[in-house]
Amino acid sequence: MISPSARIAASSVIEPGVIIGARVRIGPFCFITAGVEIGEGTTIASHVVINGLTRIGRDNVIDQFFFDRRSRPGSEIRR
């Protein structure tokens, strides 16, 4: 489900099964796989890959080339 108020760059790939909240902005050349949930008001910069079963809470900023070795499938990123 993608909120009608979300803005997604045309070059980004969003797989079926992704939940995108209100006012989310996704920059160019992103790849988001099934099972990801992005909370309202979050901004995803360009060239970001987010893999399945990850929940990003509301009002976060994920910048280019962010990498966290501790994140695993099922992780939750909160502000």
What domains are defined for the chain?
1-63 (2.160.10.10)
AA letter at 54: T
Residue 74, pLDDT score: 59
Can you say whether the dihedral through the CA atoms of 14, 18, 22, 25 is positive or negative? Answer: negative
Residue 64, pLDDT score: 83
- The partner residues of 50 in beta bridges, in order of sequence, read 32
- Give the chain's residues under pLDDT 70: 65-79
Residue 53, pLDDT score: 84
Residue 75, pLDDT score: 61
Mapped onto helix, strand or coil, the DSSP state of residue 64 is coil
HSE, side-chain direction, 13 A CA sphere, residue 55: 6
- Euclidean distance between CA atoms 53 and 5, whole angstroms: 23
